[in-house]
Amino acid sequence: MSIPELSPEQTRERLAHGAVLIDVRQPHERAGGMAEGARGVAKDELLADPAAHLPLREQEILLICQSGKRSADAAQALLDAGYAHVASVAGGTVAWREQALPLV
């Protein structure tokens, strides 16, 4: 099964409509800038106990990393764990930055 991907701009639109954006990079990577609106939860921490970070399985969950690989892997794991609406940000933070979207 392929993981749905959204562009950074589509991601911003989905955030405005209640989606949750999780940056699955390590804390030292996030320190260099994180997509505005994202919550930082390292991939291993998120996947060790998804319900602790994402209690609503029906909520739209968007994942972002540096380039898209880790977020796609994490998205597949969440889908396998029963989360219904999960997508990865295509190109990750690199694409977000290239499109001059806000970082915090």
> What CA–CA distance (Å, rounded) separates 61 from 75?
9
Write out the residue range of the structural domain in which residue 93 sits: 5-98
- Please indicate, yes or no, if residue 103 is contained in any of the structural domains: no
The pLDDT averaged over each successive group of 10 residues in the chain (104 residues) is 92 96 98 96 97 95 97 97 96 97 96
Within-domain flag for 104: no
Domain of 60, CATH number, reads 3.40.250.10
- Given CA atoms 33, 78, 49, 69 in this order, what sign does their dihedral have? negative
pLDDT value of position 2: 85
Say what the pLDDT of residue 1 is. Answer: 57
Domains: count for the chain? 1
Read off the pTM: 0.96
DSSP 8-class letter at 19: -
Please return the burial class of 22, using the count of CB atoms within 10 Å of its CB with bins 0-12, 13-18 and 19+. buried
Q: Whose structure tokens read 């390590």?
A: 26
